[in-house]
Amino acid sequence: MTLGVRITHRLGDVTIEADFEAPAGATAIFGRSGAGKTTIIRAVSGLLRPDSGRIAIDGRTVFDSETGVFVPPHKRRIGYVFQEGRLFPHMTVQSNLTYGGQHDFDRLVDVLGLRSLLSRRPATLSGGERQRVALGRALMSRPDLLLLDEPLAALDAGRKAEILPYLERLRDEGGVPMIYVSHDISEIARLASTFVLVDKGKTRAAGPIGEVLSDPAMGGVLATRDAGAVISGKIGDHDAATGLTRFDFDGGAVLVAGGAVPVGIPARVRIAASDIILSLGKPEGISALNVIPVTITAIEPAGQSGVLVGLRAGSAMLLARITRASSEAMGLKTGARIHAIVKATAVMTGPMTDGDD
Amino acid sequence: MTGEGWLGPAEWQAIALSFKVALVATLCSLPVGLGVALLLARGRFWGRGLLNLLVHLPLVMPPVVTGYLLILGFGRRGPLGTMFEEVFGLVFAFRWTGAALAAAVMGFPLMVRAIRLAVEAVDPGLEEAASTLGAGRLRVFGTVTLPLILPGVLAGAVLGFAKGLGEFGATVTFVSNIPGQTRTVPLAIDTLLDMPGGEPLALKLALVSIAVAAAALALSEWLARRVRGARGGQA
């Protein structure tokens, strides 16, 4: 499955220009509120007809302004989970679920924990329950592609934690490919293998999440707090006494805060650029584990007084944000071998890319 | 006091005729009213303002003018009247069918308003959701839009029906006051008031009218509350 999008659409004073390819697996469309993310997936779903361009799902052209092809939404075989759920208020949960089909009904009802809700009305459900029903409803229509438009944005942290595992499971089972729209980089780092950055209506970058997020040139478009690489590896030891888990990757290891995830399973961590300190010499007197020997691959300006430093450790790419003044004082140059000191961070389970691509 | 004794056969005839006229007027105008309400609520087309004006005119025009326009259009020599007679064999002039037409036209604005409000209360996002689940336009309308606006449609029908029961000006102008044919309750009351000693009977018919109108209004209010309730439950 690949999704190919190349569209332009005028919306008020913003012109949306999207150009990206999404391979199988989970693709994130990331950007600030109002950047045009929703417009792009509405165009993919057929709920919006762009001014011009072309959209193809798995080689099937669903929109082409040149040949006049426009497949209406109900024939696109797309599952769409809206931010606000959009359950039918006059139907029970059961009727909502089966509105588009009954594919895999029993298993999905169990997986999503909906069995006890089947006879209820949407108005009586909590926000998290509603989004689980919306997800189930979309999946039972057996879509070729699942679009998730900020499905967690309306939920508090607790409810988010209730839904995220379902999405991870969905991704890991290698079923339906997902396009996941969000403005929350940690959600995306947890779920997506492909990353599409949208800024002021335009797609600024698209590619494997590890590559795009560790590219120092992203400093120009990503907010300071959002810059940071996602690296993949596996879970090493878990120390119950300290509550820390060792995350091993090609190029080193870091101690991460996190629960007792099974040792040896593939995992990924996001290391925010602001959570890395650079040192010319090997620092003494601190835990050796979070000190990683690295090579500088690039130095790019970020914001008014900062720089983003691209770092390579083994095959992993990291990104550090320091002030321009420090960079000059340290005399950092591309190719220099230095040390990165990484703060403990949170671990996320799941492989970087789906096993089947 | 039995029913037959309380009111005379002529009065019972007027009541029965009123119900027949109002019922036929409501049933025949409901599909049109639904269509026009959908057009006004959702359509973006040239002439939408004009259509809106046209629908609402009978609400504010003197009823006698509406009746006169009906004569011009649907009278025996009117272009539409001739057409209906030739194509369907349907005559409006001085028939109960004409009274039903007058009732339908006068009740139409009320009916359309009630339905339109209900349509505007429907979240188009729900219809979008249905279409992404594979439902074509007809299925979306039948399974999402229509059930959600149903209370509004019923409220509109009840209002149109109540208006039809009480219509006077346009009816008397268009189809005159013929016993058993076009003499509905309001026309019967008017006739009784012109007759010496007719006033007690007129009062009884007036009480019947008030009771029916109040019941209809209460029913439509209850239905309208259900529309608002459905909207509140969509969060």
Residue A352 has pLDDT above 90, yes or no: no
CATH of B18-234, one of 3.30.300.180, 3.40.50.1860, 1.10.3720.10, 3.50.50.60: 1.10.3720.10
Q: Which residue is closest to A84 within chain B, CA to CA?
A: B235
In this structure, which amino acid lies at residue A338?
A: I
CA–CA separation, B132 vs B126, rounded Å?
10
User: Which stretches of chain B score pLDDT less than 70?
Assistant: 1-5, 227-235
Quick check: A74 and B131 CB within 8 A?
Answer: yes
Q: Looking at residue B233, what is its pLDDT?
A: 44
pLDDT band at A344 (very low <50, low <70, confident <90, very high): low
Our CA angle for A62, A147, A200, nearest 5°, is 85
pTM, to two decimals: 0.83
Residue A202 corresponds to which tokens in the numbers above? 């335009």
CB-based contacts of A106, cutoff 8 Å, min separation 6: none
Residues of B in contact with A79 (CB under 8 A): 132-133
CA–CA separation, B166 vs B14, rounded Å?
12
Residues of B in contact with A89 (CB under 8 A): 126, 148, 230, 233-234
CA–CA separation, A71 vs A69, rounded Å?
7
Quick check: B135 and A86 CB within 8 A?
Answer: no
pLDDT band at A350 (very low <50, low <70, confident <90, very high): low
CA–CA separation, B169 vs B163, rounded Å?
12
Question: Count of CB atoms within 10 A of residue A100's CB?
Answer: 24
**Cross-strand pairs, A307:** A301, A322
- Contact assessment for residue A25 and residue A175, using Cβ atoms and an 8 Å cutoff: no
CA–CA separation, A305 vs A308, rounded Å?
11
CA–CA separation, B184 vs A138, rounded Å?
55
Residue A238 has pLDDT above 60, yes or no: yes
Quick check: A89 and B233 CB within 8 A?
Answer: yes
Residues of B in contact with A72 (CB under 8 A): 131, 136
pLDDT digits (tens, 9 = 90+) for A31-88: 888 889 999 999 999 999 999 999 999 889 999 999 999 999 999 999 999 998 999 9
Q: How many C-alpha atoms does A265 have within 13 Å on its Cβ side?
A: 13
What letters, b where the CB count within 10 A reaches 16 and e where it falls short, cover B113-134? bbbbbbbebbeeebbbbbbbbb
The stretch A328-334 carries a mean pLDDT of: 92
Q: Looking at residue A349, what is its pLDDT?
A: 59
Helix intervals (H) in A26-144: 37-45, 93-97, 105-111, 127-140
Q: Looking at residue B227, what is its pLDDT?
A: 64
Identify from A47, A71, A81, A90 which residue to disrupt to test chain B contact, counting B C-beta atoms within 10 A and taking the largest count. Answer: A90
In this structure, which amino acid lies at residue A73?
A: P
Task: Please enumerate residues of B whose Cβ is less than 8 A from a Cβ of A.
Answer: 123, 125-126, 128-136, 143-144, 147-148, 230, 233-235
Residues of A in contact with B125 (CB under 8 A): 82, 84, 86
ipTM of the complex: 0.83
- Contact assessment for residue A221 and residue A208, using Cβ atoms and an 8 Å cutoff: no
Quick check: B125 and A82 CB within 8 A?
Answer: yes
Phi then psi for B132, rounded to 5 degrees?
-70, -15
How far, CA to CA in Å, does A6 sit from each of A50, A56, A192, A217? Answer: 10, 9, 21, 23
Q: Note the maximum CA span of chain B.
A: 70
- Contact assessment for residue A168 and residue A354, using Cβ atoms and an 8 Å cutoff: no
Q: Looking at residue A251, what is its pLDDT?
A: 86
pLDDT digits (tens, 9 = 90+) for A269-302: 888 888 898 999 888 877 667 889 999 999 988 8
DSSP label of A120: S
Q: Which residue is closest to B123 within chain A, CA to CA?
A: A86
Q: Which residue is closest to A126 within chain B, CA to CA?
A: B235
Element (H, E) at A30: strand A26-30
The stretch A98-105 carries a mean pLDDT of: 94
Q: B234 vs chain A: nearest CA distance in angstroms?
A: 5
In this structure, which amino acid lies at residue A231?
A: I
Q: B8 vs chain A: nearest CA distance in angstroms?
A: 48
Length of chain B, please?
Answer: 235
Residues of B in contact with A101 (CB under 8 A): 133-134
Quick check: A141 and B135 CB within 8 A?
Answer: no
Q: Which residue is closest to B135 within chain A, CA to CA?
A: A74
The stretch A111-123 carries a mean pLDDT of: 93
CA–CA separation, B235 vs A26, rounded Å?
29
Q: Which residue is closest to B234 within chain A, CA to CA?
A: A89
Residue A1 corresponds to which tokens in the numbers above? 């499955």
DSSP label of A177: -
Quick check: B129 and A86 CB within 8 A?
Answer: yes
Quick check: A90 and B147 CB within 8 A?
Answer: yes
- Contact assessment for residue A28 and residue A209, using Cβ atoms and an 8 Å cutoff: yes
The DSSP code sequence of B127-181 is HHHHHHTT--HHHHIIIIIHHHHHHHHHHHHHHHHHHHHH--HHHHHHH---TTT
Which residue of A47, A89, A122 is in closest CB contact with B128?
Answer: A47
Which of helix, strand or coil describes residue A289? helix
Q: Looking at residue B235, what is its pLDDT?
A: 33
Q: Looking at residue B234, what is its pLDDT?
A: 39
Q: Which residue is closest to A73 within chain B, CA to CA?
A: B132
Identify from B123, B127, B128, B133 which residue to disrupt to test chain A contact, counting A C-beta atoms within 10 A and taking the largest count. Answer: B133
Q: Which residue is closest to A96 within chain B, CA to CA?
A: B130
Q: Which residue is closest to B138 within chain A, CA to CA?
A: A74
Residues of A in contact with B129 (CB under 8 A): 80, 82, 86, 88
CB-based contacts of B177, cutoff 8 Å, min separation 6: B183, B187, B190, B191
Q: B235 vs chain A: nearest CA distance in angstroms?
A: 7
Task: Please enumerate residues of A whose Cβ is less than 8 A from a Cβ of B.
Answer: 45-47, 72-80, 82, 84, 86, 88-90, 99-101, 121-123, 137-138, 141
How far, CA to CA in Å, does B64 sit from each of B34, B70, B130? Answer: 26, 10, 47
Determine how β-strand A266-272 pairs with β-strand A228-239: antiparallel
The stretch A224-236 carries a mean pLDDT of: 84
pLDDT digits (tens, 9 = 90+) for A295-327: 999 998 888 888 999 999 988 889 999 999 999
Which residue of B132, B135, B230 is in closest CB contact with A89?
Answer: B230
**3-state secondary structure labels for all residues of A138-159:** HHHCCCCEEEEECCCCCCCHHH
CA–CA separation, A355 vs A215, rounded Å?
24
Q: Edge to edge, what strands does the sheet with A316-323 contain?
A: A276-279, A337-342, A291-302, A306-313, A316-323
Quick check: A74 and B135 CB within 8 A?
Answer: yes
DSSP label of A122: G
Mean pLDDT of chain A: 87
The distance of Cα A311 from the centroid of its chain, to the nearest Å, equals 22
Nearest to A231, CA basis, from A178, A172, A272: A272
Q: Looking at residue B169, what is its pLDDT?
A: 94
CA–CA separation, A348 vs B163, rounded Å?
67
Residues of B in contact with A121 (CB under 8 A): 233
User: Which of residues A217 and A20 earns the better pLDDT score?
Assistant: A20
Quick check: B234 and A89 CB within 8 A?
Answer: yes
Which residue of A74, A122, A123 is in closest CB contact with B134?
Answer: A74
Residue A243 has pLDDT above 90, yes or no: no
Q: Looking at residue A60, what is its pLDDT?
A: 92
pLDDT band at A333 (very low <50, low <70, confident <90, very high): very high
Q: How many C-alpha atoms does B181 have within 13 Å on its Cβ side?
A: 12
CA–CA separation, A87 vs A96, rounded Å?
7
Which residue is listed with tokens 């309400």?
B37
Q: A86 vs chain B: nearest CA distance in angstroms?
A: 6
Element (H, E) at B126: helix B124-132
CA–CA separation, B174 vs B25, rounded Å?
15
Nearest to A293, CA basis, from A268, A266, A311: A311
pLDDT digits (tens, 9 = 90+) for A143-173: 999 999 998 887 888 778 778 888 888 888 7
